[in-house]
Copies of this chain bind each other. A is one copy, B any other.
């Protein structure tokens, strides 16, 4: 594909790409409404979530925007600091369309980065804080990162990644003021040129930040875990991020000034766009560095949390909390869960604990949730197993999604709505990514036929609700994190004794799933389970390593393809 001329030479025209929904009969039809009624400065502004923060600061300057430990930050200050960050980045030479990376926990700095980085015209790359140095280095290089904001917890791995990377970004240390002495992780040494607070102090809190030139401009970049080969960089635009704000409000039933607890990592699909969403209603962010039961109940009871999100493991943590860590609360708390259908026992436990659970589904490519299990009042009358079965279905298209279908990917025909015929789940709409960065082949493949192909298999029920039947086969979801089985297999294959390796998911009460490896050894070679797991830990982030290894013959087809579906049947045997 050719490099696109983004702005017309005359300065004001853009190429808007294919517009497939237009009726061909309308082509060239001009009427009285096509005269003298053009866009102008008074009636057209690019859609961007940055407008939400500026409005919140204007209308509710004194409302608490951020709670983090003892810290309280008003919307006035949140906005001023985001502008100062944008100003400082600009002064240090960051320009439109350049990448600023952040490897940060759910802290005020991460919230400010979501606003301040795009206010400088730059693009925010959020790095999964559990990744290893190789993948981080790949992402920094691929995104051509000019700046890295890094929390002191991750100094060591980032230092290693920077050694491996080709780019030499400005490194900024973030020293979390709420990092307790008895924390479950240690703070590393500073590795940067400047500390985050000093960087913000360089900037002008009244900086005249710029709207994006076009609502199609990139706002953020999120790498997928990469089932085959290198991770793919998913590009979001201002338009989609802005629309997700409204869609989240409608889907999560948020009104008034919601209070949102950060149990979902903000590096996941930009925290499903909630860092931007909350500004629409001037809600309060309650930061949370580590997901622990006591801290969650304290936040709910002390700060009046109304909404939180996370994988089923977060619900399990809430339900299984020590009685001493639980706190009573009066308000209705909505828990939005994704990654795996909530089991009946978890739903019962959550209901008893006073939570209302909404089941969502989506992908990095759809800005997070793009499907919602829209609950119907009549289902309340069902018995518990039937209610759980209804809740387990992924559901219907999100408010801002234009269309959702289950299709045969070859014929691109929709499967019958019979709840049985399996097809590929496909999406189209304004909350589908722009594409994969510097990867036109993957982008073209993902958008083949005018739909985004999720790679997930599912059925369409008679009532229009979809239900997943198989995640993209080789993905293991552990504690809400995607683990590519291929990546784990690749690590195993690097051991000199391994002939064949095949990794599948094993269900796990705590983590949802964990990787289980079937391994064939080379003739005459030996290695113990322990040693092979230790080998993996040198190559992979700890959460990706197999919890169990079985030495067995790996079933293959006549052409040598591993039959994972046979292995899956052997898992619990």
Residues of B within 8 A of A144 (CB): 32
Asked if A274 CB lies within 8 Å of chain B CBs, one says no
Assess the B58–A97 pair: CB atoms within 8 A: no
Name the CB-closest residue of B to A13.
B15
Give bound CA distance, A376 to B41, whole Å. Answer: 31
On A, residues with C-beta under 8 Å from B are: 1, 3-4, 6-7, 11-23, 25-47, 51, 55, 58-60, 95-99, 121, 123, 143-144, 210-214, 216-218, 235, 246, 249-250, 253-256, 280-281, 374, 376, 396-397, 399, 402, 427-430, 432-435, 437-440, 443, 446-447, 450-452, 464
Give bound CA distance, A21 to B29, whole Å. Answer: 31
Assess the A97–B450 pair: CB atoms within 8 A: no
Assess the A39–B23 pair: CB atoms within 8 A: no
Give bound CA distance, A137 to B452, whole Å. Answer: 50
Name the CB-closest residue of B to A395.
B59
Q: What are the 8 tightest A-B residue pairs by CB atom distance, in nearest-first order?
A: A31-B97, A17-B39, A41-B450, A22-B213, A20-B41, A21-B211, A246-B246, A33-B218
Assess the B213–A26 pair: CB atoms within 8 A: yes
Assess the B44–A17 pair: CB atoms within 8 A: yes
From residue A438, how far is it (CB to closest CB) to chain B in Å?
6
Assess the B21–A6 pair: CB atoms within 8 A: no
Residues of B within 8 A of A20 (CB): 40-41
The one of B25, B42, B46, B396 in contact with A447, judged by C-beta atoms closer than 8 angstroms, is: B42
Assess the B402–A210 pair: CB atoms within 8 A: no
The one of B21, B55, B218, B440 in contact with A36, judged by C-beta atoms closer than 8 angstroms, is: B440
- Besides A25-B95, A31-B97, A246-B246, 6 other CB < 8 A contacts? A4-B35, A17-B44, A19-B39, A21-B211, A34-B97, A55-B397
Give bound CA distance, A345 to B512, whole Å. Answer: 60
Contact A17-B11, Cβ < 8 Å, known A4-B38, A217-B33 = no
Assess the A211–B39 pair: CB atoms within 8 A: no
Residues of B within 8 A of A210 (CB): 21-23, 26
Task: Give the dominant DSSP class at A's interface.
Answer: loop
Assess the A213–B59 pair: CB atoms within 8 A: no
Contact A16-B22, Cβ < 8 Å, known A45-B428, A249-B250 = no
Residues of B within 8 A of A13 (CB): 13, 15-16
Name the CB-closest residue of B to A396.
B59
Residues of B within 8 A of A451 (CB): 41-42
The one of B42, B250, B281 in contact with A427, judged by C-beta atoms closer than 8 angstroms, is: B42
Number of identical protomers: 2
Residues of B within 8 A of A253 (CB): 255-256
Assess the B58–A464 pair: CB atoms within 8 A: yes
Assess the B95–A59 pair: CB atoms within 8 A: no
Assess the A38–B15 pair: CB atoms within 8 A: yes
Name the CB-closest residue of B to A18.
B40
Residues of B within 8 A of A98 (CB): 31
Residues of B within 8 A of A434 (CB): 33, 37-38, 43
Name the CB-closest residue of B to A377.
B257
Name the CB-closest residue of B to A235.
B37
Residues of B within 8 A of A446 (CB): 42
Assess the A430–B35 pair: CB atoms within 8 A: no
Residues of B within 8 A of A218 (CB): 33, 37
Assess the A31–B399 pair: CB atoms within 8 A: no
Name the CB-closest residue of B to A211.
B21
From residue A355, how far is it (CB to closest CB) to chain B in Å?
17
17 pairs, A vs B, C-beta closer than 8 Å: A7-B27, A12-B16, A19-B214, A21-B45, A22-B210, A30-B97, A33-B217, A34-B97, A35-B440, A37-B443, A38-B435, A41-B450, A42-B447, A42-B450, A45-B428, A250-B281, A254-B255
Residues of B within 8 A of A97 (CB): 29-34
Give bound CA distance, A396 to B57, whole Å. Answer: 12
The one of B12, B47, B447 in contact with A17, judged by C-beta atoms closer than 8 angstroms, is: B12
Assess the A34–B3 pair: CB atoms within 8 A: yes
Residues of B within 8 A of A34 (CB): 3-4, 6, 97
Residues of B within 8 A of A26 (CB): 95-96, 121, 210, 213
The one of B23, B51, B255 in contact with A213, judged by C-beta atoms closer than 8 angstroms, is: B23
From residue A491, how far is it (CB to closest CB) to chain B in Å?
30
Assess the B43–A433 pair: CB atoms within 8 A: yes
The one of B28, B41, B249, B447 in contact with A249, judged by C-beta atoms closer than 8 angstroms, is: B249
Give bound CA distance, A11 to B281, whole Å. Answer: 40
Assess the A96–B23 pair: CB atoms within 8 A: yes
Residues of B within 8 A of A40 (CB): 17-18, 20, 447, 450
Give bound CA distance, A134 to B428, whole Å. Answer: 48
Give bound CA distance, A451 to B43, whole Å. Answer: 8
Contact A45-B429, Cβ < 8 Å, known A13-B16, A28-B7, A34-B6 = yes
Assess the B23–A123 pair: CB atoms within 8 A: no
Residues of B within 8 A of A427 (CB): 42
From residue A126, how far is it (CB to closest CB) to chain B in Å?
15
Residues of B within 8 A of A397 (CB): 55, 58-59
Assess the A280–B399 pair: CB atoms within 8 A: yes
Give bound CA distance, A23 to B37, whole Å. Answer: 24
